[in-house]
Structure formats: structure tokens, C-alpha cells
Amino acid sequence: MTGRMQGRRLIITGAASGMGRAIAELFAAEGAALALLDRDEGRLAEVAERLAVSGHVCDVAQASSVDAAVAASLESLGGLDGLVNAAGVLATKHAAEFDRETWDRLIAVNLTGPFNVVRAALPALQAADRATIVNIASVSGLMPMAGTSGYSASKAGLIMYTKCLAFDLGPKIRANCICPGVIRTEMTRYLWENPEHTQRAMDRVALKALGAPEDVARAALYFSTEDSAFTTGTEIVVDGGFSWR
């Protein structure tokens, strides 16, 4: 590793599994000081102990939970240079069958969650010389797909929220988005554990493969370092060539 994150202090949400965990692992290997947030206390403790960083149980959909976790994170880190909002949930239903409870949960976690974290962390980010915000959205926020009305709406909102953050918080704070395609995580296990579904998904992708969490982590590293010093208010699509635009 190159130590590109040496001296940087970051909060990562959804860090107990999937893309959040891969981001935490890469950032730790690159020398970052981290505070990890997640609802899953057991998995969070395992990841935090293995990486020798602090872990704080947190439900990003609950403002009080976020406020407490961010305050504890700032105490352990001694300040903040960036954050990555990787916590998210997925639900697929035909639009005619979508219920209010599912809709509310998707918006609460995928859109209000990042808002809660940014709001709680903003004073510390503004105190840094140069800070970064990275939000994990989805290709579903860029294009319509069957059964994803609620999920797509939450991720499209997150993309636009990120762009607005870039305008409002520049020049000291940069805000960018990552839009993954199908990545092999627990969230998409229903798809990639089924060989037929996996093959169908791969056939739609130019690289004829599904993504790995590490693919998203490398994009997050780019957005969280000076490699992207002149980049803000935009998104990187990590989908192997699926959502052509």
C-alpha cells in the first residue's frame, strides 16, 4: 500500500459488511484513522477489532443515534477530514404493490441517513483544511429499472443531495457520489447465489462479470484523496459497463 490516507481521519457508515467493510479495510491499509458506524453490533465489533479502529453502533435513520455516534467518533479521532456514507437498504416491489412502510424505510436509510451523518459531522468537517464527503448511491439512481421505484428514488435523491452539498460546502469540502451496479454483497445475495440470475446479470454487463466490494472501495479512495482534488459534485459509475449514458 502507498499510505495515501496517512494522517486523515474518517467516519464510515455501513462498515460492518459489504462495500462499507471493504472501504474500511482499504482505508485502514492506506493509513487512515477510522471510526466505523453500523447497526450490526457483532459484525461491527469484529471489523473494528481486526482493523484496530473504533466502532460505534448506529442507526443512520435515527438522528439521535447518529448524533451520539458521530460525537463518540470525533472524540476518538480528535477531528475529522472526511466521511463515507455506505449504509443502505434495498427492497424491490412493483410500483403498484409498494407499501408506505417499505417506502419510508428506503428513504429514511438511503437518503435521510446520509443527511443525518453530514449534518452531525459538518462542524468538524468545516474545521478541517480540506475535507471530503463520499456517498454511495447506485446506478438505480441514474436509470429506471423494474421494481425499484422506492430504491431508485432514494438513490436519485442522494445523487442530487451530493451535488448540492458540493455547491454549498465548497471550496474546503468536496462531495462526490459512487454509483455501483450489481456488487457481490449480502444485499444482492438473492441474485448472485442463483446461477441463472447471475448469468442474466452478467450478460447485460460489458465486462461480463459482477462487481466486488473492493471495486467500490477503490473509487471511494480516489474521491477521498488529493488524486481527485479538482473533482466535486459528480459521480463515478462502478458497474462494469451497464448503465450507458
Domains of the chain by residue range: 9-237
Distances in whole angstroms, Cα of residue 40 to Cα of each of 17, 48, 63, 232: 9, 12, 17, 31
- The band of 203, judged by pLDDT with boundaries at 50, 70 and 90, is confident
| Nearest CA-CA partner of 27 in 245, 169, 220, 215 | 220
Rounded to the nearest 5 percent, the helix, strand and coil shares of the chain are: 50, 15, 35
Residue found under cell 451496479: 181
Over the stretch 127-179, which tens digit does the pLDDT of each residue have? 999 999 999 999 999 998 889 999 999 999 999 999 999 999 999 999 999 99
Question: Is 151 considered catalytic here?
Answer: yes
Torsion (CA) 168, 63, 187, 207 in degrees, nearest 10: 10
Question: Which residue is catalytic, options 151, 161, 190, 222?
Answer: 151
Torsion (CA) 217, 105, 161, 189 in degrees, nearest 10: 30
**pLDDT score at 197:** 65
Cis peptide before 213 (omega within 30 of 0): no
E strands, the chain, where? Answer: 9-13, 33-38, 54-57, 82-85, 131-136, 173-180, 235-238
Pick one of 3.90.580.10, 3.30.1180.20, 3.40.50.720, 3.90.550.10 as the CATH number of 9-237: 3.40.50.720
Q: What global pTM score does this model have?
A: 0.95
Over the stretch 212-227, which tens digit does the pLDDT of each residue have? 999 999 999 999 999 9
